[in-house]
Amino acid sequence: MNARQAQDAEHEQILREMLEQFQPVFDHSPMGVYLYLDDVHKLCNERMAKMFGVTVKEWNAMPSFLADFVDERDQEMVASNYQHHVAQLTHPVIFRFRAKRKAGSKFLAETDMIPICWRGNPVAYHFVREVKE
């Protein structure tokens, strides 16, 4: 097993453990919820997938949350919030962004982006809701 395969296996194990622990939140939250380790290793609940017009399986397989679900005008802001709050494990941040569904329609979303550390890895723990303008 090469280094990349070992890292992928470790990340898959992290996701299994996280899903096991956070399953009650995924199942009962009135908001969309997702855990983001990296573009390949992420999980979402049914509400999150439905909000963006996809299934959970499709959402988990999407190559990039930013490119697939965030309007181009807000991608830099979402990435900056991740880099400055989650990757640095500093503090939670709440912000709004223009989101896009798989079918192309757009909506205003608000997220609570919460940094957590899981087995030494920074993870973004998000609660997402659609905001009516």
CATH code, domain carrying 108: 3.30.450.20
Q: Which helix (H) or strand (E) holds 28?
A: helix 3-28
Give the predicted TM-score (pTM) of the model: 0.85
What is the pLDDT tens value at each position of the chain, 133 positions in all?
798 888 778 877 877 888 898 899 999 999 999 998 877 788 999 999 999 999 998 988 888 889 999 999 999 999 998 888 887 778 899 999 999 999 999 999 999 999 888 878 888 899 999 998 7
Range of the domain at 104: 3-131
Q: Cα(32)–Cα(45) distance, rounded to whole angstroms? A: 6
pLDDT of 86: 81
Total domains, the chain: 1
